[in-house]
Structure 1
């Protein structure tokens, strides 16, 4: 069988993935990562604009301007914010995004003050040692029982405040990104920086080959997806939207970390029948490893756009990611093939 799979620059995608993973960007604190993306998009000669809430909209001119296709990914990640400073100088934190507390216990983190200073810390249970606390193993891992130990000489609330740390400061988790020679990628925040790297790979492919898509495409990079309202509002000329996010794995789901996962339904309901069907057909045509699954505890930027009242058709795909919202892992093949499937779709003509 002959395929039209494009020759994507795998090294470019993985190099950008590593850069993105190592830039702190919890929801609402995405200024640095967006500035870097802006520079690269302009280097590739595409128009990019930022919305008032900080989302980026990148326009790829196409032959058909009447049926604009949006591809969305999100640069924001899970994280936390300082809720209060304890009398002993430790920090109580409040989560940003939905994760289980046990997934961040023992994690290194950065505290970002509003005057630009950064301090290292570690997330711990308030009963962190089995040598001291008889119930340390059974101590419930919930917000009230967790804290951040700051790597500075502080033993009181006043000493912590003297560092410039205040309530409302952002806390980011150490991504611990590892890109292995055999293609495995393990890191926090593959949700959704793996997909953002795939979208940058598409831009690089279009620029390198001087391609004009069949339809005008707008890539939307959102900054509040993890808290539910990333793309609640999108440009009015968009007809279809594909959310490019991580594919959920486990339980009775069939996708693997090497697959492009196509979501037929998540917690917000079913995605567009015709779009999903066409994505399946194109994955078959391009001989891409793929799976179709249901994500029962999941919402996407496409969900947010639909709930925001946007009159669009929507679909959801992404590279399979194991242990989502924890220590995640995917494979380079899944990321590259996600980009290939998106290119196949964007080169298709609009069908009513």
Structure 2
């Protein structure tokens, strides 16, 4: 038995987080994932939303599994070009303005041109604005300073920048000697890297799965509907692989795989949850059970869409979700091990 290589997973993760992919503008990263899978001779297809589905045939083709991770991230979009030549933004995904203050960013025009900038408070300079520390971090006060010689809206439009252009945040990915991975967008590109390495290991070892298994790399999860379609009628189990959220009252940490009991959508399937726990215990995999109070996944989106499936949710523990995220290689490894055994296990029904 050979588990997916954790160092290779982290190397792949660093590449994926470095590709801008805010929800609504994910073509480049989907192409990257598609190329990775095609080089493994894995059958893939794109859905109309722009997501990617890879399929591994199994012994049982009457009952299918689907695993999903999402490659879309938080981001922003140009709301208004201000008379000063700065940009007012609108957020893509559920996060707060304070979490992007001071962040470097990239503006991509509809023609494909890219410009760098910085997200700042309008009242940033303490030498000028008495309320610099007290002013609210909101849409009215925060703006993008473009790294080009612009003095007014006309100068900005001359660059090709317009309302509706996408803005991505610098991931600032780093790995440490102590095993931590620090980066924006570990939600959920850590899980995407884990699934890709899992598929690579299954192909390398020529492992035949017990059931035909689909892997959906969804691209609209952060806005609520990435994984709610393209689920085959034969699909019985649907497992979302997404981050485990950390904070006060949570049991999730950065070193184990988090198995979700319940989120804002309600409880996940009880029997599947128990099966995941049993697999973890049988194979000495470190795990934590947890509840995420303000959270939804592609699996819960699929349930809301009316699919008759058994749904579950696991993932690596991520600190400071939707902000300055961090996890540890041990969490990546434990998540990969549980998935490796899960895809080779029998179904709950």
Q: Give distance in 1, aligned partners of 2:281 and 2:139.
A: 45
Residue in 1 aligned with 2:206?
Answer: 210
Residue in 2 aligned with 1:243?
Answer: 240
Asked if the contact 2:209/2:344 (under 8 Å) is kept, the reply is yes
Shift of 1:210: 0.6
Shift of 1:19: 0.4
Asked if the contact 1:77/1:189 (under 8 Å) is kept, the reply is yes
Matched residues, number: 348
Return 5+ residue gaps in structure 2 as ranges: none
Shift of 1:181: 3.0
The CA deviation string for residues 266-295 of structure 1, in whole angstroms up to 9 with x for no partner, is 000000000001101111111111100000
Match of 1:43 among 25, 39, 43: 39
Shift of 1:45: 1.2
Shift of 1:182: 2.5
Shift of 1:336: 2.0
Asked if the contact 2:66/2:231 (under 8 Å) is kept, the reply is no
RMSD: 1.0
SS of match in other structure, 1:28:
coil
Q: Taking structure 1 as the reference length, what is the TM-score of the superposition?
A: 0.97
SS of match in other structure, 2:258:
strand
Residue in 2 aligned with 1:168?
Answer: 164
The CA deviation string for residues 36-70 of structure 1, in whole angstroms up to 9 with x for no partner, is 11111011111010001111110011111122111
SS of match in other structure, 1:337:
helix
Match of 1:148 among 144, 147, 163: 144
Shift of 1:11: 2.4
Match of 1:227 among 223, 227, 230: 223
Match of 2:111 among 111, 115, 122: 115
Q: Taking structure 2 as the reference length, what is the TM-score of the superposition?
A: 0.98
Return 5+ residue gaps in structure 1 as ranges: none
The CA deviation string for residues 275-324 of structure 1, in whole angstroms up to 9 with x for no partner, is 00110111111111110000000000001111111111100000000000
Asked if the contact 1:77/1:226 (under 8 Å) is kept, the reply is yes
Asked if the contact 1:69/1:240 (under 8 Å) is kept, the reply is yes
Match of 1:65 among 56, 61, 64: 61
Q: Give distance in 1, aligned partners of 2:8 and 2:58.
A: 24
SS of match in other structure, 1:203:
helix
Shift of 1:209: 0.5
Alignment of 1:299 with 2:296, yes or no, is yes
Residue in 1 aligned with 2:277?
Answer: 280
Q: Moved runs in structure 1, 4+ residues, more than 6 A?
A: none
Shift of 1:333: 1.5
Match of 2:79 among 61, 64, 83: 83
Shift of 1:345: 1.2
Q: Give distance in 1, aligned partners of 2:155 and 2:258.
A: 49
Alignment of 1:325 with 2:322, yes or no, is yes
Match of 1:181 among 165, 169, 177: 177
Asked if the contact 1:261/1:319 (under 8 Å) is kept, the reply is yes
